[in-house]
Structure 1
Amino acid sequence: MEYLLKEIMLRVDNSQTGMAKINELWRDVVSGKIPLMYDSAGNFQQGLSPVSKYSNYESDETGEYDLSIFTATAEFFTRMAQKVEAGEYVYYDFDGVDIKEAANKAWSRVWADKENKIIRRAFTQDYESTVPGEYTKDGKAHCYLYIAVQTNK
């Protein structure tokens, strides 16, 4: 029987224990132990990018939430760009020497922007795509965030 795993979900928080669970999950995805980017025969699926979805927030960034990792095509990023243009999401792009540094910079900025009332987070569904430097034109790791914001509609 052939299959293609589409998504995996973990309930976590931003504590040290939660971050350790997230790191372990990502290691399993990247290594192929959890075959999100591979079919059941072990073949890499071209054109797919792993994306984190943060949803089902207990409260805000201080409570528990669902972290789902799924694979997306270019169409997903096109739809997200449209949602940014419509004002439903705010887009962040931060780089660093590695994925961890890029992600830390990006999330620190989101939390600061919330604290400084630059954005009003909706805490519905947020998305993160991180890309290692070996896959980017500038050789730096990038963290792309799409943060859902409250709209005045």
Structure 2
Amino acid sequence: MAYKLKEVTIRTNNSEEGMKGIGELWEAIVSGELPLLFDSQHEFQQGVSPVSRYSSYSSDESGDYDLTVMAVTADFFEKIEVAVSKGLYKKYDEEDENGDIGACTRRAWEKVWQQQKAGDINRSFTEDYESTVPVEYTKDGKAHCYLYIAIQ
């Protein structure tokens, strides 16, 4: 009998050790060791995208938080866009022409932190979402990172 996970959560932070743990989590997901994008029989789950949810912040981005990688369908993106239109979230969209998903993700988060430090946004630190799209899955040949940051 094949099975699949809907989500997997770790408690982490933005330290070097925390970043290493996040990398290990993603490696287990991409390899199929954790059956989130693939079922336990290593069959790819069509129509499913991985999205990271950041929640249960102990303070702000300098403290511990829960990182949950969820397997979502297209309706997730429709719902989060509605939340953006209502002013509950601010959307950040970064891309990298060289296909470096890590580079565009770093730029997106750095923009959030700069705007936060400047007082341009007031984060609520409830639930934030990140969707990264590798170049292999884009029509424009660029890697993309979409952040949805909960604001007050």
Tell me whether 1:128 sits opposite 2:133 in the alignment: no
Please state how far the C-alpha of 1:134 moved relative to its aligned partner: 1.4
1:141 aligns with 143
- Alpha-carbon shift at residue 149 of structure 1 (Å): 0.3
In the alignment, which residue of structure 1 is the partner of 2:71?
71
Q: Which residue of 2 aligns with 1:36?
A: 36
Instruction: Give unpaired runs (5+ residues) of structure 1.
Output: none
Deviation at 1:121, TM superposition (A): 0.2
Higher alpha-carbon deviation: 32-41 or 4-13 = 32-41
Q: Which amino acid aligns with 1:94?
A: E
Report the Cα distance in structure 2 between the residues aligned to 1:138 and 1:2, rounded to whole angstroms. Answer: 35
The C-alpha deviation readout for 1:2-44, integer Å capped at 9, x for no partner, is 3221111110010111011101111111111111012232211
Kindly state the Cα deviation for residue 138 of structure 1 after the two structures are TM-superposed. 1.4
- Per-residue Cα deviation, 1:86-124 (whole angstroms, up to 9, x for no partner): 000000000123110010000000000101111100000
Provide the secondary structure at the position in 2 that maps to 1:110: helix
Question: What TM-score do you get using the length of structure 2 for normalisation?
Answer: 0.96
CA distance in 2 between partners of 1:14 and 1:149 (Å): 20
After TM superposition, list the pairs within 5 Å mapping 1:11-50 onto structure 2. 11-50=11-50
**For residue 119 of structure 1, what is the aligned residue in structure 2?**
121
Tell me which amino acid in the other structure corresponds to 2:123: R
Where does structure 2 lack aligned partners over 5 or more consecutive residues? none
1-structure distance, mates of 2:40, 2:25: 19
C-alpha separation between the residues in 1 aligned to 2:52 and 2:41?
A: 24
Q: Distance in 2 between matches of 1:21 and 1:140?
A: 26
Counterpart CA distance in 1 for 2:29 and 2:108 is 22
Superposed CA RMSD in Å reads: 0.9
Q: Percent identity?
A: 54
Task: Give the equivalent residue in structure 2 for 1:3.
Answer: 3
Aligned residue pairs, count = 150
Look up the SS of the partner of 1:115 in the other structure.
helix
